[in-house]
């Protein structure tokens, strides 16, 4: 890795370069579901009139997803922003490994399935085609391969989505899965069934150590077979919905499938377990529960002696999990490493929900700092309550940390994530989403004033869309409607571009907008490097700005 060189005619601003990532705040079409347009955003409006402005791609191949029909997400978005170029991501790596057969020919799959005998193969993961954490096609391929290998007993532990897909679409995927299982079970001696499940935000898929009781509920459901009992997943979902009208899939309570009064799929000694989610943040804690004998975050009871693997390794530095089926992307020479080597002091700050994104994912799926002396990472603890009940989240506290750094000249480069547009956007509560966008705009206004006074540079952008499209849209731009003629709620990410505002308060007059208007969010790294007064690395995607 070659050291960064200084620009010959520009030494960077007197104040810091501040990169603000408004999570989930994309550019909508101005329809009734576009809460970004509907919200009052005087700060962003001012920036659009008075700063450099462009739009950036934040989905599909621009962030390493398989196709341009795939949504971006916070993980791949922060990878792209921090790395300065695009790497093939988990969704594509796993898809390719399944297509080529490499995943099933690998040592890990063979270890888990080669000597099962009468024991059970358990598959745990998110049941949808959202392609953010998982894809049902991968699961179906794993079931087909298990059948071909003669594995007699498989149990599925299904996490319901409603977040990266329509909010009440769970039965669509359950029906697809049940049809596939039925075809396998027509063969003599095969017993493939759904054994447990529940909403992804109620069991199993916590992240950043925010809510270990969520993991405990998942452990009790999947491993111990403890939970409300039903004869089928369909019956469970229909019953839970009837008891709580308006609940969306991600919040459904846990369920356990029973036969003759007993759970059909607890995980016991001798079994094998695969967590088939390929995104890391919401897979790490369950992996630790299986892999770490001394874990004390909750009482697991007797830990079954099983072979466990993730479909990918979710943290290469910490070796989580120890066994995995597909190697994760190898992301190197990220911006944070270049800046640390150049002596640039850095601050990364967000609240718990996105703290790992401005640290771990931003640094190329790397835990820890590049330089302890020059880097500060600050996590503001998120509230444990539904996001629609407090849509401003911890925006004020995040802003306070940034203002303290600016006012006391602590850091040359500051990166921050405001999670509001994404986390509140996933709830489907339109009023709360509108407020969440306004809360972020208020925070941006506070930062804008401080950056002006310090003669710094403010870059405001997003990692993907969400709050910009809260109703499902047809190809012709019209809103999709339910049977009652009401617009269909949308809680997933969007394919929309994201904004990028660059306000130069340095007074040097050296920063202009580059001629290339067809850029993605991976170009933000070169942009930050330029604004700091350095020449971007040659292998980085083109900068949004030109210096001169």
Residue positions annotated with a catalytic role? 74
Sign of the C-alpha dihedral computed for residues 392, 393, 398 and 400 taken in this order: positive
Residue 459: is the preceding peptide bond cis (ω within 30°)?
A: no
User: In whole angstroms, what separates CA 90 from the centre of its chain?
Assistant: 12
Contact by Cβ (8 Å): 196, 159? no
Pairing of strands 545-547, 511-513: antiparallel
CA dihedral 146, 151, 157, 161 (to 10 degrees): 10
What are 512's strand-pairing partners? 546
- Rounded CA gap, 200 and 203, in Å? 6
DSSP state of 426: G
| Full DSSP string of 482-503 | -TTSPBPB--S-BS--EEEEEE
Q: Are 388 and 321 in contact (CB under 8 A)?
A: no
Q: What is the CA radius of gyration of the chain?
A: 24
Locate 441 and state its tokens. Answer: 């705009």
CA nearest to 275, candidates 231, 322, 232, 230 = 322
- Angular region, 538: left φ>0, alpha ψ -120 to 50, beta rest: alpha
State how far the Cα of 86 lies from the Cα of 74, in Å rounded to an integer.
14
Helix axes 170-185 and 136-148, enclosed angle (nearest 10)? 10
- Nearest to 500, CA basis, from 43, 42, 44, 36: 44
Note the helical H segments in 84-135: 90-100, 102-105, 107-113
For residue 315, list its beta bridge partners: 320
Q: At what angle do helices 430-454 and 395-407 cross, to 10 degrees?
A: 0
Helix (H) or strand (E) holding 326: strand 324-326
Largest CA distance in the chain: 78
Are residues 284 and 131 in contact, defined by beta-carbon separation less than 8 angstroms?
no
Strand duo 534-535 + 5-6: pairing: antiparallel
Distance separating alpha carbons of residues 93 and 482, to the nearest angstrom: 36
Closest alpha carbon to 268 in 300, 224, 299: 224
Please, which residues have CB within 8 angstroms of residue 213's CB and are 6 or more apart in sequence? 298
Cis before 192? omega within 30: no
Beta strands in 191-252 (DSSP E): 191-199, 229-230
């Amino acid at each position: 890795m070659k050291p960064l060189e200084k620009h010959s005619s520009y030494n960077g601003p007197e104040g810091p370069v501040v990169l603000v990532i408004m999570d989930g705040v994309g550019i909508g079409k101005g329809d009734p579901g576009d809460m970004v347009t509907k919200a009052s955003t005087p700060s962003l409006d001012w920036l659009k009139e008075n700063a450099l402005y462009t739009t950036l791609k934040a989905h599909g191949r621009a962030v390493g997803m398989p196709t341009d029909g795939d949504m971006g997400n916070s993980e791949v978005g922060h990878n792209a922003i921090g790395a300065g170029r695009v790497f093939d991501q988990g969704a594509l790596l796993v898809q390719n490994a399944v297509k080529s057969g490499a995943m099933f020919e690998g040592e890990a799959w063979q270890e888990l399935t080669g000597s099962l005998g009468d024991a059970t193969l358990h598959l745990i993961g998110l049941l949808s085609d959202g392609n953010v954490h998982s894809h049902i096609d991968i699961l179906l391929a794993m079931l087909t391969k298990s059948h071909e290998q003669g594995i007699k007993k498989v149990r599925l532990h299904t996490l319901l989505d409603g977040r990266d897909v329509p909010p009440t679409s769970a039965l669509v995927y359950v029906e697809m899965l049940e049809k596939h299982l039925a075809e396998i079970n027509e063969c003599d001696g095969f017993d493939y069934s759904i054994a447990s499940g529940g909403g992804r935000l109620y069991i199993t898929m916590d992240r950043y150590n925010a809510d270990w009781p969520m993991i405990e509920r998942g452990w009790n459901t999947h491993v111990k077979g403890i939970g409300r009992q039903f004869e089928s997943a369909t019956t469970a979902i229909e019953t839970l919905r009837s008891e709580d009208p308006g609940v969306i899939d991600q919040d459904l309570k846990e369920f356990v499938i029973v036969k003759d009064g007993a759970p059909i799929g607890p995980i016991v000694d001798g079994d094998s377990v695969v967590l088939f989610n390929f995104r890391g943040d919401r897979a790490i804690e369950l992996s630790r529960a299986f892999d770490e004998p001394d874990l004390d975050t909750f009482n697991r009871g007797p830990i079954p002696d099983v072979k466990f693997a993730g479909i990918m390794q979710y943290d290469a530095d910490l070796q989580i999990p120890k066994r995995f089926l597909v190697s994760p992307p190898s992301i190197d020479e990220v911006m944070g490493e270049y800046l640390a080597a150049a002596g640039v002091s850095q601050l990364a700050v967000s609240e718990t929900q996105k703290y790992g994104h401005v640290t771990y994912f931003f640094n190329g799926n790397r835990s820890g700092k590049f330089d302890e002396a020059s880097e500060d990472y600050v996590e503001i603890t998120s509230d444990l309550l539904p996001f629609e009940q407090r849509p401003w989240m911890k925006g004020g506290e995040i802003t306070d940390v940034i203002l303290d750094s600016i006012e006391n000249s602590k850091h040359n480069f500051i990166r921050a994530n405001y999670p509001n547009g994404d986390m509140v956007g996933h709830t489907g509560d339109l009023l709360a989403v509108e407020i969440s966008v306004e809360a972020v705009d208020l925070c941006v206004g506070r930062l804008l004033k401080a950056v002006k006074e310090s003669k710094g540079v403010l870059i405001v952008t997003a990692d993907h869309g969400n709050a910009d499209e809260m109703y499902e849209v047809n190809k012709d731009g019209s809103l999709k409607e339910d049977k009652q003629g009401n617009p269909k709620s949308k809680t997933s990410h969007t394919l929309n571009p994201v904004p990028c505002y660059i306000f130069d308060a340095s007074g040097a007059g050296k920063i202009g907008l580059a001629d290339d208007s067809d850029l993605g969010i991976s170009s933000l790294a070169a942009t930050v490097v330029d604004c700091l007064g350095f020449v971007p690395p040659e292998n980085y995607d083109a900068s949004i700005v030109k210096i001169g």
